[in-house]
Amino acid sequence: MDCTFFGDIWLKPPNHQVISSFAQLQFLRRPVSSCYLKASMLCDGWIGYALFSFLVGIGILLAKRTSVRPNLPTIGPPGYFGSWRTALRGTINQHELLQEGYKQYKGRAFMIPQLTGWRVMLGGPELINEMKNAPSTIISSEDAIRDIVQTPYTLGEEINALPLHVDIARGPLTKNLASFFPHIIDEIEAAVPVLIPDNQEDIEGWTSILAFETSIQFIARTLHRIFVGVPLCREPGYLGIMIDFTKWVMITSTIVGLFPEFLKPYVARIIGTSRRQTNAVLRYTREMLQQRLQTKDGKEHKFEEAPDDLITWLIDIAPENELNPFSLSRRLLSVNFGAMHTTSMIFSHVLLFLAGKPEYIAPLRAEAETAVAEAGWTKEAMTRCVKLDSFIKESQRLTGLGSSSMTRRTREDYTFSDGTFVPAGTTISVAASSIHVDPSIYGENAHEFDGFRFSARAETDSGKINHSFITTSPEFLLFGHGKHACPGRYLAASIMKMTLASILLNYDVKLPEGYQPRVIWLGGNLIPDMSAKLLFRKRNDP
């Protein structure tokens, strides 16, 4: 899938201690004496081994960095040390590097150096479409995801070998989307008073909340309402594990990725993320899963009366050896990983734009009021909210999830139609953040926020071109493009639109006086301002 995977692991949440991000480590929960013993054992046996392994890994990465290098124009100073300096620049802000490359080589392929090798970047629709249409046996999305996420060591070997979550997202999850809307709005209405409590102390009634933390709680509850249903989707302990899981995957993948292939299983075993997190989830899911499995057996595998949710779909298509609570919980974690943080980050940016652009609130609210009054909280009503859809899409055009999209890895040598040659083992991406602010595509105001940019285009084009948020193209690459575009985008977009519409109908929202959210680039990732606060107030005239 072209969902971009990353977490907020490198930034300290403003109201949590750093240690809270690592609370699942068992030895941090033990008495001091136990921690000391553990540390002593690590010092005695593992530090030397880990240091040796790390140095071996760096050596292999250095060899790889020079062995796979296409003959293409590069960004930054020439020479060995120049490329390292540029790679270090990219670890701070890759978007700036891509901007330089895109301006110089627009429509062509160019390379940027990274600490682990060279990456080819595509900067034109012809090359993007050509890569989109290339066979997976030659240019592979799966291999790229495996490199980024280190799937066998983070999500599990069975997830890497048989990605059932992709089939579910493309099948029952999308096909049954309309039937989920009553459950989504019910969960939103249940979550609102919990996540946005009334402030009795403020004379004007404003309540201050953290934008990202509130976003991720909204998304977690609504997603898991569809994944596992009530009451588990409202269980704080369960949701906490699910929210933290993405952080742990990215920590593990980053560490494991530094080591050579033959050492990765041992490093992953020391870190132990996948099994530890699965066991933690199992404390909450075991009883429910056992009941579901017994129901399936009792119905002779017909399973007619089962709830229409993710667990049912997993049980329907999982191989026989995975029809047990542990394996199904691991599958549940993998689906959660692909959906939770990406959707939360998108929605966090959307809320910050809404609060920072008060001139859009009245027209968006009027549109939502009319649509809901005429069609209820349905898929049809959300489809009518074209301005709301445009507002979300425009926010992601300027922010998105990162600087690149459509990352692939070549399995064989490949030559593009313009003569660009990339050898086997090359990582290729699309310079998405640069394309999204290209004046030749989005006009002279390409760097400015225009919330109704896409709804206006839809009116001008009279429906001949689909400008909706979920539509992918070489000009809008948030979800990737082509057959590997994120299959969960339909559900994510529906949840965000319904949540935003509900907030508009029931609340006023603004930023604190004098505050402007920051844009935080970390390597190729764009991180929401974790310290950003929003002010909510219950409407007196809903």
- Determine the residue type at 151: T
Q: What does the pLDDT look like over 229-251, one tens digit per residue? A: 999 999 999 999 999 998 888 88
207-210 sheet: strands from edge to edge = 207-210, 533-538, 507-510
DSSP-assigned beta bridge partners for residue 47: none
pLDDT category at 305 given cuts 50, 70, 90 is: low
What tokens were used for 488?
């969960």
pLDDT single digits (tens) 127-155: 999 999 999 999 999 999 998 899 888 88
pLDDT (tens digit per residue) in 177-215: 999 999 999 999 999 989 998 876 666 789 999 999 999
For 12-16, what is the mean pLDDT? 32
Residue 486 annotated as binding site? yes
Mean pLDDT of 375-389: 96
pTM: 0.85
Question: Which helix H or strand E contains 382, and what residues bound it?
Answer: helix 379-384
User: Which of the listed ranges 163-167, 305-309, 394-398 does the model predict with the highest average pLDDT?
Assistant: 394-398
Domain ranges of the chain: 46-141+408-429
Q: 231, 325 in Cβ contact below 8 A? A: no
Q: Residue 15 pLDDT > 50, yes or no?
A: no
> 118-127, pLDDT tens digit by residue?
899 999 999 9
pLDDT band with cut points at 50, 70 and 90 for residue 35: very low
pLDDT at 34: 34
CA 273 to chain centre: 19
